[in-house]
Chains A and B, each alone.
Chain A
Amino acid sequence: MNAVNSARPSGFRQLMGMALLLTALFTLESARAETPAVNTAQYISWTRKTVSTSPGTPRGYVEYQNSCAVCHGPMPERPGTRALAAKYRGALPAMLEDRRDLQPAFIRAMVRGGVSLMPPFRKTEVSDEQLDAIVAYLTRPRN
C-alpha cells in the first residue's frame, strides 16, 4: 500500500508544512521499501481487458472480457452492471455473466441494437463470429 489518504483539519499552516515534509519523507521511504514491480496483469485488469488465459478458456469468455466487461464487469461501479442493478432490484443478477435466463436472440438484439445509453456495436468492432462466442459464453450450460 503506498496510497496515502489524508484529510487534515484546516489551519495551522506552519504545522501543516512540517507535517507535509514528514509525510513526504515518510512516503519516500515507504515508496522505496514497498514499490512493487509494475503489475502488468493487474493494471490491465483495471480496464477489464483479459491479459492471459489458460488453455481451454472459452473464447466467449475472452471476447466478453474484452468487449463487454468494461461496462458489464463484476463491480458495482461499472455503468452497465449498475444500470441493471437499478433495473432489476435483485430480481435478476446485475452481472450478465451470472444470468441464466439470457436467450441468444436477446443478446444479439442488445449488441446490434443497443439499449438506453449503450450504442449498437458494428461488425468491425464485434464480428458475427465474436458475437456467437459471446452468446455461447453467456448461455453456457451450468449446474
Chain B
Amino acid sequence: MRTPPGLSPTVFATARREFESVVGAQWVFTKDEDTILYRDAYSPYLGEPEERWASAAVAPASTEEVQQIVRIANRHGVPLYPISNGRNLGYGGSAPTYSGCVVLDLKRMNRILEVNEENAYALVEPGVSYFDLYRYIQEKKLKLWVDCPDPGWGSVVGNALDRGSGYTFPYLRNHFDAHCGMEVVLANGELIRTGMGALPAAQTWQQYKSGYGPWIDGMFSQSNFGVVTKMGFWLMPQPEAYRCGRVLVRRRDDLHELIRLMTLLENSGITNGYPDSSSPLLGIGSIGAQARFLAVDEPIPADDPELQRLRDRAEAGDPSGLEAYGQKHGLAYWTFDLKFYGPAKVIAAQWEHAREVLSAIPGAWFEDQDEYHFPLAEEPKDHARYPEFGIPSLNNFSLGARSSTNPTPSHGHMWLAPIIPRTAEAIFEANRVFAEVARKFGLPQLRFSLPAWYWQRSAIFIFGFPVSEDPAQNKRHREAFFHVIEVAAQHGWAEYRTAPAFQDAVAKQFSFNNHSLLRFHETVKDAVDPNGILSPGRYGIWPKHLRKQP
C-alpha cells in the first residue's frame, strides 16, 4: 500500500476509514493487487519510475456519496482523481495525473436518468458507457442515435469532458458541444447545476444550454474544478437514410479547391456526416480509412516500384509524374467521401447539388458509395464504420492489434493530435514540418498524412505513437512527442487533447500575454479548490502548493 505524497500514513488511514463508512469497505481499494488495476495500460512511461500510480481507489454509487468523499478528502488533504469509465486510453486511462492520488472511480454511478425521444436528449451519470446508452435506447425502441467515438466502452460523460469526437452530424460530433446541462460537486462538497438546471423547478435543463449569466460548463472539461455527476446530451433522431458519395480529383493542387468547397458544403448544411479523405496515388487515407483497411485484415498489396519513385518526386515538389501515372491508371490524387443523413429523396438531391458544386474542379469525377435505410436490416459490413450508423463498437482496436499484417502488436498508443486550419496550405505545411521531425527522430508514423475531419471548422492531424515494453523506444517516442508539441506551436498549431505525461508541455504553449490564460485557470483553481485536492496537474493546472514557476 502506498500513501499520497506529503500525507502521513496515520492521516491517510483515517481518511480511508472515513471513505469506507461512506461507500462500504468493499468499494475502497487499497491493496496493491487492486490499485494496480488503475494503471494507465497505455502509459508512455510504462514500467518506468515516472509512470503515474494511484494510492487507493474509492467507488461511490451516488452524488451524495461523492459529496461526502470530497469533504473527507478536503478535511485530510487527500488528493482525488475522478474517472468515469477509465477507458480514456491513449489519453491517460484510469491513472491520475499526479501520482499518489486516490482515484474517485465513478463507474458505479451508471444510471440513465432520462431519455426524451421528442426532444432527442439524454441525462446520464458518469458510469454510463456508449454501449449502455445504445442498449437502453434499443430496448425502449426509441428512434434515437448516440454519436459514438471509436471505442464504445468509454463513458458518455467522460468522453465529452475530455472533449472527444464522433461521426454523425457536425453539431453532435463534438461531444462537449453536444452536451446540455451539468450537475457538479465542487471541491468543498457543494452541489451546483449549470444552465437551466439552476432553476429549482427546471423544465428545460437539457433543452437550453446557457441558462442565465456566465456559462461555466466549459470550466469543468479538461480541468480540475469539480466532479461532474450528471450531464445532459443531445441525441440524433434516427434518420430515414444514409448516403455516401465520393469526389475524386486528379491533381495535387486540386486539394485547395476541394477543401474549400467541401468546407462550404458542410458549413452550408448540404453535407451533414463525417467527411473522410484519402489519396489513392499516395496510398494514404485518413485514420478512419486506415482503420477500415486494417479491419478487413487483408495483406496490403505491394505498390508498383515506379509509383514509389513518383511519390518521392512529388514529395520533393514535382507532382507531375505522379499525376500522369494517375491519369494513365485511373487513380485519383485526392478523394473525399461526403456523407448525408436524411430522407432518401432529400439526400439524393443534396448529393446531386454537391456534385454540381464540386464539378467546378476541372476533371473531378464522382462515385456513388453505399446507401443505407434505417432501421438496418442487417449488421453493417464495414466494421470500421459502425459509429457512422450510431452503433458503438470496439472494432477500431484492430488498428494496432495483432493481425496477419501486424504480427508484432504494440502495447498501446499515445495520440499526437494537433489542430490545424482547414486549408490545403496548412495540410501541406504541417506535413512538411512533421516530415522534418520524422527524419530527425526516425519515425515512420509521421509520413505524409491527411487530417481527420471531426471538427466542423478545423482539421486535426492524428498520429498514433506505439507504446511498447521497450523503455528505450518509449523514451525516443516521448522525446519526439515533446519536440512536435513545441514545433507545432511555433507554427500556431496545438493539441486538442493530450495524455497526462504531456499536459504541462501543451499548456505551456498557450502562452499569450505571459501565460495569462493559465494564470487565470490558476486563480480559479485557488478560489474553488484552495486545498488543491481535485486532480492536481490535470491539463497543466496545479494547485498552489504544487505549482512550479513557469
Hey, which bits of chain A sit against chain B, CB under 8 A?
1-8, 10-11, 13, 16-17, 20-21, 23-24, 27-28, 31, 34-36, 38-40, 42-44, 46-47, 49, 70-71, 76-80, 82-84, 86-87, 112, 114, 116-125
C-alpha spacing A79/B376, complex, angstroms: 23
Contacts of A39 in B (CB 8 A): 375
Contacts of A24 in B (CB 8 A): 344-345, 348
Q: For residue B424, give the distance in angstroms from its CB to the closest CB of chain A.
A: 23
Q: Check B400–A117 contact: CB distance below 8 A.
A: yes
Q: For residue B108, give the distance in angstroms from its CB to the closest CB of chain A.
A: 6
Some 20 contacts from A to B, beta carbons below 8 A apart, are A1-B377, A2-B373, A3-B377, A5-B370, A5-B371, A10-B365, A43-B138, A44-B134, A44-B139, A46-B379, A49-B131, A49-B135, A114-B41, A116-B401, A116-B411, A120-B37, A122-B38, A124-B27, A124-B107, A124-B108
B344: which of A27, A114, A121 is its contact (CB, 8 Å)? A27
Q: A71-B394, A83-B403 are in contact. Are A76 and B297 (CB under 8 A)?
A: yes
B195 within 8 A of A: no
Contacts of B344 in A (CB 8 A): 24, 27-28, 31
Q: Check A112–B371 contact: CB distance below 8 A.
A: no
Q: For residue B134, give the distance in angstroms from its CB to the closest CB of chain A.
A: 6
Contacts of B410 in A (CB 8 A): 116-117
Closest 5 CB pairs of A and B: A119-B41, A10-B365, A124-B107, A83-B402, A79-B397
Contacts of B378 in A (CB 8 A): 1, 3
Q: For residue B103, give the distance in angstroms from its CB to the closest CB of chain A.
A: 9
Q: A31-B373, A71-B397 are in contact. Are A20 and B379 (CB under 8 A)?
A: no
A47: which of B42, B296, B367, B393 is its contact (CB, 8 Å)? B393
Contacts of A117 in B (CB 8 A): 397, 400-401, 409-412
Interface 9-mer from B351-359, B472-480, B534-542 = B351-359
Contact with A along B116-131 (1 / 0, CB 8 A): 0000000000000001
State the main secondary structure of chain B at its contact with A. Answer: mixed
C-alpha spacing A80/B163, complex, angstroms: 27
Q: For residue A130, give the distance in angstroms from its CB to the closest CB of chain B.
A: 13
Q: For residue B87, give the distance in angstroms from its CB to the closest CB of chain A.
A: 8
A36: which of B42, B375, B401 is its contact (CB, 8 Å)? B375
Q: For residue A98, give the distance in angstroms from its CB to the closest CB of chain B.
A: 18
B42: which of A20, A78, A82, A119 is its contact (CB, 8 Å)? A119
C-alpha spacing A27/B371, complex, angstroms: 10
C-alpha spacing A4/B183, complex, angstroms: 44
Q: Check A47–B392 contact: CB distance below 8 A.
A: yes
B450 within 8 A of A: no
Q: Check B407–A78 contact: CB distance below 8 A.
A: no
Q: For residue A126, give the distance in angstroms from its CB to the closest CB of chain B.
A: 10
Q: Check B86–A122 contact: CB distance below 8 A.
A: yes
Q: For residue B204, give the distance in angstroms from its CB to the closest CB of chain A.
A: 29
Contacts of B377 in A (CB 8 A): 1-3, 34, 36
B432 within 8 A of A: no
Q: Check B86–A79 contact: CB distance below 8 A.
A: no
C-alpha spacing A32/B62, complex, angstroms: 46
Q: Check B41–A13 contact: CB distance below 8 A.
A: no
Residue on B with the closest CB to A25? B345
Q: A35-B373, A47-B392, A87-B402 are in contact. Are A8 and B368 (CB under 8 A)?
A: yes
Residue on A with the closest CB to B376? A3
C-alpha spacing A17/B349, complex, angstroms: 9
Q: Check A86–B345 contact: CB distance below 8 A.
A: no
A23: which of B41, B348, B376 is its contact (CB, 8 Å)? B348
B82 within 8 A of A: no
B371: which of A4, A78, A124, A125 is its contact (CB, 8 Å)? A4
